[in-house]
Structure 1
Amino acid sequence: MTGETVMFAPFADRGLALPSSNFFRGVIGFYKIKHYHLQPNSVLRTSIFVHLCEAFLEIRPHFNLFRHLFRLKPQPDERNPALVGGAGVQLRDKALYLEYTTLSSLSGWHGQWFYIGNHQPSLLGRDNSPPKRREC
């Protein structure tokens, strides 16, 4: 339906709200992915980064710093990325970042979805393709 998008409850639990931030839309735009291509812990990592920048460093989230700290990894692998959850934001080097833990298993998270209003500035609409690799 026009004006709506799919949202996964674990995404909302990990800080994704709509309308999403300019930074979040910039990240998914740069990597040419949709929000549902991400995994829940990837949403959490992005939320923590934004909070770190805004609340502790007192700067706007800086995309080049994000790319220095994180990389996007196809899930389960580059040849066969999943349509939902096919992109993972992963730390490049844990020694360079905050120490925190995430849930290692979120099995069944795909089934915890609902529709939500996708107001301006909105996320891009849904399609039936998995994420595609973008060279950085």
Structure 2
Amino acid sequence: MSDVLDQGPFFHGTKADLHVGDLLMAGFNSNYRPEIVMNHIYFTALQNGAGLAAELAAGDGAPRVYEVEPTGAFENDPNVTDKKFPGNPTRSYRSTEPLTITGEVIDWPRLTPEALQQWHERLAALRADERGEIIN
């Protein structure tokens, strides 16, 4: 592991239908800037954060939250930590190594339709603002 001070459990939100033992890997398009292929796989120690990611993920599938285990070193996600915000209040991480799915969280807090619409509007504004870059 790395020197990150978080033991988990860890979660990843997506619209993909996956199973225990499947691997999540880097190399897919960003949910927030689809023209960018991501060099990392992202995860969090907060179910709500993974739920938000699941709700906002690209695709037509149902939003899902999976419990995951990093297979290698990971670091604080610079998109939401010290380079943009102090500390790591979202307990968000990223890795170039795969994550193993260890289970699915069935009963996670869902966004209201209004809150989800507000998030989609925020993302649309970020996409329109060239300064809303992703640290890849």
Q: Which has the higher strand share?
A: 2
Q: TM-score range by the shorter chain?
A: under 0.3
TM-score (normalizing by structure 1): 0.27
Q: Which has the higher helix share?
A: 1
For CA contacts below 8 A with separation 6 or more, give which structure has more relative contact order. 1
